[in-house]
Amino acid sequence: MPHFEQENFKLNRTIKLIAWDHDRVLIPSLVTSELAIRNTLSPDPFLAELLSTGRVSPSDIEQWCRSENRQIAQISDLADFLTASLYDMSGPDGTSLLNKSEVVEQKQKLLRGLSVADIYGAMEEIPLTKGIDEVVERCQSRNISQIIISDTLDIAVRWQVNRLGMTAGFGVPAVLDFEDIQLEQETTQEQAAPWLPEARLSGKVLPFNKAGCLWTFCNKNGVRLSDVAVVDDSAANIEALFRPILEAHGLAIAFGPSAKDEEAFLSIGIPVVHREDAAILDEMLMKYT
């Protein structure tokens, strides 16, 4: 059970904006892993490409296979390994085997060739975290702005924003391939919109700064960080995202982190809510709205 009085959150503050993470927060799974299941290609070329970077060794792969009691037999297995390389596995220096930007880059390669329509279809089948829709609805009833800022595909984030009726969403910008679609060279993005579902992921993405997106959104909309609540599961975001919110006397909540990340959050006074306890998250947010 988390403690509700976050030490440096001023009780006379009222939350005006909630910034939600997407994967493992709004949904219990990872979008890239869900999409990887739909890629029926052999994982072998992708695995060989990953090993060729020198950042992952065959022994790292073997270690993961032993711990999971399975082999990398399909693309989704490799996606799960990449997730573990960030959250559960350590390199020689004691840090994560792969850093977040490396994992994002490698995961996008696994999705190469999927169409935007494929992503839309997958998103329709991915359930929300139990009880999270009620939390979102209650916040909406109090006229609190809600946005999604996540290191997952921007296409998936925008789909979820529309589904939940949120204010805005920001994710990793995917580079789309319109090669099989006949468009004029001068066609604008707006003019190309009707053909968007047919466009395919190129396997490449543009740079994305999660915390930077939040600061920019707040600046443009006149929202003070002291009036922001951040709900995220990853301790990798503590320094760039959580700590600035804490220092501004905003509200930071860790929702559904791994056991390892839970320790990191609690060590700096960030309350932890387990994924099955959405009602507690609701209670915490309602206390300050």
pLDDT at 232: 98
Q: What is the pLDDT of residues 106-140, one digit of tens each?
A: 988 899 889 989 999 999 999 999 999 999 999 99
**Averaged pLDDT, 184-188:** 47
**Is pLDDT at 191 greater than 60 in this prediction?**
no
At 58-87, the pLDDT tens digits run 999 999 999 999 999 999 999 999 999 988
User: What is residue 177's predicted lDDT score, i.e. its pLDDT?
Assistant: 82
**pLDDT given for residue 84 in this prediction:** 92
Over the stretch 211-246, which tens digit does the pLDDT of each residue have? Answer: 999 999 999 999 999 999 999 999 989 999 999 999
- Fold for the domain defined by 17-28+128-173+208-287: Rossmann fold (3.40.50)
Q: What is the pLDDT of residue 198?
A: 82
Residue 257 has pLDDT above 80, yes or no: yes
All structural domains of the chain with their residue ranges:
17-28+128-173+208-287, 33-116
Determine the pLDDT at residue 181. 52
The 3-class secondary structure across 47-94, one letter per residue, is HHHHHHCCCCCHHHHHHHHHHHCCCCCCHHHHHHHHHHHHHCCECCCC
Provide the pLDDT confidence category of residue 192 given band limits of 50, 70 and 90.
very low
With b for 16 or more beta-carbon neighbours within 10 A and e for fewer, the 166-188 pattern comes to bebbbbbebebbeeeeeeeeeee
State the DSSP string of 237-289: GIIIIIHHHHHTT-EEEEES--HHHHHHHHHTT--EE-TT-HHHHHHHHHHT-
Please tell me the distance from the alpha carbon of residue 259 to that of residue 88, in angstroms, as a whole number.
Answer: 10
Q: How confident is the model at residue 13 (pLDDT cuts 50, 70, 90)?
A: low
Q: Which pTM value belongs to this model? A: 0.86
